[in-house]
Amino acid sequence: MITTIAAVGRTTLNFIDTVKKVSILFGRTVYWIVVGPFKRKFVSGEYIFEQMVFAGVQSLSIVFFVNFFTGVVLAMHSARELARFNAEMYVAGLVSVSLARELGPVLTCLVISGRVGAAITAQLGSMQVTEQIEALDTMALDPIRFLVVPRFLALIVMAPALTIFGNFVGNLGGYLIGVYNMHIGPTLYIDTMFSFLALKDVYTGLFKSFVFGGLIAIVSCYQGLNTSGGAEGVGKSTTVSVVTSFIMVIFADCILTGMFYFSRM
């Protein structure tokens, strides 16, 4: 019994310590985003753009396939049920609203977490175990400023951009099923889609993706900067980073959904 209580206590203290360290990392990141441009030796815009290309442009193909086939599957499943009520035309509204509110930002950011977040952790983790991070400190260069900030900015910008792209291709998948399989008129399908899709659905989904992008960046960078144990440690940190990012995205989605849809905001 005492051993169990001690284990629970250690786990709780470790969790609190991790939350504190992540909060400090986030605070320092925001500080350098605000203060960095007014000081010398700020990270170059070219490097930030390079991270945006890696996080966004190079993720387009996988985001396309995930969201396109999600739209196709969602349309096919909903069509069968709606047909029981002679309401097949509402497939367009169901697909568009589901993608804009939930599936678009969540699926897109899970893809980002698995591809980009893992790569960030592996990159920073490799730098940590080979003492490149310490070399930056020796040269009086803040690792947060030059390594975390560009990746954080890249993800909070590219996550909403990829979500917009994912929503478009997801609705394209639903359109193809609705028009060519269910024989709904193209004009009727598009009119129905926009009649159900509200501006609130779009901006809440984009806000979610913005938050998810920041969470993925902070979690991935934290795990990378705290890697130890050589190559094996890099692998463990990458696994923990992806799993933690997945959990944080789903948890944050639950919180944000409650804020937007179960309150008067």
Query: pLDDT for 130-150, tens place per residue?
Result: 888 888 777 777 888 888 999
Alpha helices in the chain (DSSP H): 2-35, 45-55, 60-83, 91-98, 104-112, 118-129, 132-138, 143, 149-180, 186-196, 199-225, 230-261
Give 217's DSSP letter. Answer: H
Answer whether 182's CB lies under 8 Å from 91's CB. Answer: yes
Residue 239, pLDDT > 60, answer: yes
pLDDT in tens, 3-19: 777 777 777 888 788 88
**What rounded mean pLDDT belongs to the chain?**
87
Output the six-digit token pair for 167: 């929503």
Sign of CA dihedral 37, 39, 42, 44: positive
pLDDT at 165: 95
pTM here is 0.89
